[in-house]
């Protein structure tokens, strides 16, 4: 089962990080980053599957695909920002991690503006 592989990989990596922690902390940080990269790369294929399903459902419910594209981008930004922020916070730079998350939020807001505009337009049309 895939989850066992991921858990095994993470436990081995934590063991290696701890053994190398006091000798060379930078290599320990690199190992933890590499494990993060590998686990996220491993998770991409299920995510691709989920998006294919969502797209099919959206097609059936004839939702405008442009919004689906924006939602996809928003999820991607959240996904990457979370990935980087956790690694940076792990290495002790909490301030930097907060900045990364803040930047992620700003980019998501920028992407969300058109959707909010459409929602408001439809409400106005319904009310007037």
Partner 1 sequence: MSMAVGTIMQIAGIGFLVAVLHTVLKSAGKEEFAHWTTLTGLIIALLLIVSKLNLLFTEITSVFRIQ
Q: Binding of partner 1 at residue 88 (CB under 8 A)?
A: no
Chain-centroid distance, C-alpha 14? 22
**Residue 16 vs 115, nearer CB to partner 1:** 16
Q: Binding of partner 1 at residue 41 (CB under 8 A)?
A: yes
Residue choice 30, 63, 96, 108 for contact with partner 1 (CB under 8 A): 30
Give the contact letters, 51-70, x = binds to partner 1 (CB under 8 A), - = no.
x-----------------x-
Cβ neighbour number for residue 127 with a 10 Å cutoff: 6
Phi, psi of 5 (to 5 degrees): -65, -45
Helix, strand, coil % (nearest 5) of the chain?
Answer: 90, 0, 10
**Helix 65-90 vs helix 25-60: crossing angle, to nearest 10:** 160
Q: Binding of partner 1 at residue 114 (CB under 8 A)?
A: no
Spatial distance between the Cα atoms of 98 and 16, rounded to a whole number of angstroms: 27
Residue choice 1, 48, 53, 128 for contact with partner 1 (CB under 8 A): 48
Phi, psi of 91 (to 5 degrees): -85, 5
Q: Binding of partner 1 at residue 107 (CB under 8 A)?
A: no
> What is the contact surface with partner 1 in residues (CB under 8 A)?
5, 9, 12-13, 16, 19-20, 23-24, 26-28, 30-31, 33-35, 37-38, 40-42, 44, 47-48, 51, 69, 72-73, 75-76, 79-80
């Amino acid at each position: 089962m895939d989850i066992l592989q991921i858990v095994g990989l993470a436990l081995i990596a934590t063991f290696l990080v701890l053994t190398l922690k006091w000798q060379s902390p930078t290599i320990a940080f690199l190992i933890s980053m590499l494990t993060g990269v590998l686990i996220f790369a491993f998770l991409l294929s299920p995510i691709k599957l989920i998006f294919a399903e969502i797209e099919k459902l959206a097609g059936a419910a004839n939702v405008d695909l442009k919004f689906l594209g924006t939602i996809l981008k928003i999820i991607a930004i959240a996904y990457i920002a979370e990935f980087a922020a956790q690694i940076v916070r792990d290495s002790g730079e909490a301030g930097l991690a907060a900045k990364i998350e803040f930047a992620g939020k700003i980019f998501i807001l920028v992407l969300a503006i058109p959707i909010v505009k459409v929602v408001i337009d439809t409400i106005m049309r319904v009310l007037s």
